[in-house]
A and B are shown apart, each in its own frame.
Chain A
Amino acid sequence: MSAIPASCTMGQMSDGRGIMNKVLLLVFALMALVPAQAHHVLGRPAYSLNEDSNTPPSMQVETQIGQYDVTYMVFPAFPRAGERGRVNLYATRLDNGQAFAGEVRFTVRDDKWFGDKHEETLGTQLPDDHVYRQGFVFKEDGDYIITAEFEADGEPYIIDFPLRIGQPAGVGPIGVTVGVIVLILLGVNLLKRKQLARVKVRYARDELPQKAREQ
């Protein structure tokens, strides 16, 4: 936003205000045409920043389980190893919107396809103004799964959320791609050599009796 220069006269300022009012009116009219909705696509991470608040960007996932709508937020949006971070969780009933008030237990495990997943308990929390806050510090970068567990109406609720600490390795997919392509090309080359050798042998077999007959 640019400041009004000192040489600006009163008349110019009122003209400027008039334009500003018109612009604001237009902005509000357009905002009314483009309705904004305060929710996320279910189960998808969304990154948000509100310029009116001094909170850092957060990563947010909204989903549902059984009778509850669960919102999970991670601060900061991109946590790193050795940095303090926090998970916020809200759970409200789908039928009447009432917030869950019992205990929630948070655990964490490695998000691996194979090998030891090594689960640890982060803590058990009670709500603070309907929000469950769980702090964390990770020693190493990687993919983790945070599990929130609670019990409501005699039913156990277990819900997993992904958490990425640090940047994912970019070299991995490139390495896999190059590796697979090299394997394919090597395999095809080997097969072609075999084919060629077979053709040579067949050719030699056909040639020899013909030469013998000619002699």
Chain B
Amino acid sequence: MIMTHPGLPENWAWLVMAGMLVGGIWLLLASVPKSPRMRVISLASVPLLGPVVRKLAASRGVLLLLKVLTVLVFLLVIVAGLFGTPIPERNLATLLTWNLWWSGLILSVFFLGSAWCAICPWDTLAQWLVRHRLWKRVDSGSSLNLRVPRWLASVWPALFLFVALTWLELGVGITTSPYATAGIALLMVVLATASLALFQRKAFCRYFCPVGRTIGFYSQLSLLELRPIDGDTCARCTTLECYHGSDTIEPCPTWLVMGRMQQNTYCLSCGNCGQSCPQQNVAWRIRPPSVEALHSARPHWDEAWFMIGLLALTGFHGLTMMPFWETWMRKLAQVIGDSGQLLWSFSIGLVAVMAIIAALYAATIAITKAISHSRLDFKRLFSTFAFVALPLAFAYHMAHNLNHLVREGSGIGAVFANPLGIDTAPLSMMEKHARSMHMWLSQDTLFALQALLMLLGFWIAVQVIRYRGGALLEPGSRWSRLRLLPLLGFAIGITGFHLWLLMQPMIMRM
């Protein structure tokens, strides 16, 4: 028997819609400043906290300790998955991976950026296996240090793997199989090791890892960034230790130069730049979450597709957890003669949702181009306005995952006490009800946070349309801003769809 969580009440939905109306009118009427006012606070300059932040940024010990801890938990997940009970709600592998880690990870990106990548156990294990050192620099270890072939040097492989992971997660249902969860975890270690053994630096993290790239794109909207303390110091620097590394510290794993860093996308928060910089000129800064999407991040064709893919897959994720999804699948299965796990029906649904979202976005860009008589080509407009999709995807992803985390995280204590679920029985209906009632936050707080997230996502999307639209399309009269209406319509349509999804009862994961 499966259970469902209640959806967002109508009152909250009305509130979000009112906010959308205000945002839409504001987009059309308010004047657009040439560049957004962005205040940042360098944590290194905060009294009392500053010295601690500087010390942490330059220290290797804390990071190594955290890496060892995550590797130990990861190994426990593997053991629990392979040797523990197949009951998903009683096994640490499934509960920790899907209910806590995957749900919490997306939320953590908003506050901590790509901090997870710095302690990722897949990469840590690969590093230890290939470099044969816990942390010190090794010239090549067991790596061939090949250049990544041009056809692979983009985020297309990560997008493909993200679609594959979604298919395995929701279609095959590895979220309810501890054994398969452990299998996927081992596969990721193999892929990370193979990539590190073949290619230069951390090609897996930069091009292939679906989780890393998702974190990377979402971290464009993070409150935190790793940047130079003083830009002039970087401008005068000729040795570029951040890029080349030092005698003991590895170079930037994703080929970034700190002095030229404009966006978080490829930063793994590993701290190599901070540790190798002889001037100790690198520190964490708090900033408005919209700064990159509005103007700093540079548009690229493959990255635009990744952002549109994220938008489609997050919506699809939500859709598959609605009770009516099963009815749709049944009807489709009857039409195409599918049986068993209905994988064909599911695959068609996945491709259809992705195609619909991509087509909607492409049509929006085509209409914008047509009504604005822009001389810019379609590809340029498509890449630039894809930043509208990012806050919409991120906001819904966080709101959806918050539901999982708050309502389904309560069983984690019991599972840590018995990670393999030895001698346990499936959850009874009473226990399932008890779990769903023991929420980490009150239900009203959860609804308020979900509504706020939807508003935040829409607000940033509107801002992106204003700034990117204003900078890209040729200036005209006041009413020329009506040329941005198709993009506003796209943002309203997607937010409306996400809001509708949040209002539906959602199937409890396990």
Partner of B198, one of A167, A180, A188: A188
What is the CA–CA distance of A173 and B427 in the complex, to the nearest angstrom? 28
The answer, among B183, B190, B430, for a CB contact under 8 Å with A180, is B190
A36 at the A/B interface (Cβ < 8 Å)?
yes
User: Does A137 make an interface contact (CB < 8 A)?
Assistant: no
A34/B4 in contact, CB under 8 A: yes
Our count of residue pairs bridging A and B at CB distance below 8 angstroms stands at 138
Does A77 have its Cβ within 8 Å of any Cβ on chain B? Answer: yes
Q: How far is the CA of A50 from the CA of B342 in the complex (A)?
A: 27
The reply to whether B340 and A63 form a contact with Cβ atoms under 8 Å apart is yes
Asked if A34 and B142 sit within 8 Å, CB to CB, the answer is no
Task: Provide 16 A-B residue pairs closer than 8 Å at the C-beta atoms, listed in order of the A residue.
Answer: A30-B437, A34-B437, A36-B3, A42-B333, A43-B342, A46-B2, A63-B339, A63-B340, A66-B334, A94-B334, A164-B86, A170-B83, A180-B190, A185-B193, A189-B142, A192-B142
Chain B residues whose CB sits within 8 angstroms of the CB of A44 once the complex forms: 173, 176, 341
Residues B172-189 near A (CB distance < 8 A): 173, 176, 179, 182-183, 186-187, 189
Instruction: Say yes or no: is B373 at the interface (Cβ < 8 Å to chain A).
Output: no
A63→B341 contact, CB < 8 A: yes
| B272, chain A: closest CB distance, angstroms | 23
Cα A40 to Cα B507 with chains together (Å): 10
A64 near B330: Cβ-Cβ < 8 Å = yes
A159 within 8 A of B: yes
Is A48 part of the binding interface, using a Cβ–Cβ cutoff of 8 Å?
yes
**Number of chain A residues close to chain B: CB under 8 A:** 51
- With beta carbons under 8 angstroms apart, the residue of A36, A171, A191 that contacts B4 is A36
Q: Which residue of A lies closest to B436 (CB)?
A: A34
- A138-194: which residues lie under 8 A (CB-CB) from chain B? 159-160, 164, 167-168, 170-171, 173-174, 176-177, 180-181, 184-185, 188-189, 191-192
* Chain A neighbourhood of B5, CB < 8 A: 34
Contact of B186 among A42, A45, A177, A192 (CB under 8 A): A177
B82–A173 touching, CB < 8 Å: yes
Cβ contact of A43, chosen from B2, B86, B341, cutoff 8 A:
B341
Q: Counting CB contacts under 8 A, is A75 at the interface?
A: no
Cβ-neighbour of B426 out of A35, A57, A177 (below 8 A): A57
Judged by a CB distance under 8 angstroms, whether B197 is at the interface is yes
The reply on A8 being an interface residue by CB < 8 A is no
Contacts of B78 in A (CB 8 A): 174
Does A199 lie at the interface of the complex (its beta carbon under 8 Å from any beta carbon of B)? no
Contacts of B340 in A (CB 8 A): 43, 63, 65, 159-160
Chain A positions within 8 Å of B428 at CB level: 49-51
Encoded as 1 (CB less than 8 Å from any A CB) or 0, chain B from 292 to 326 comes to 00000000000000000000000000000001001
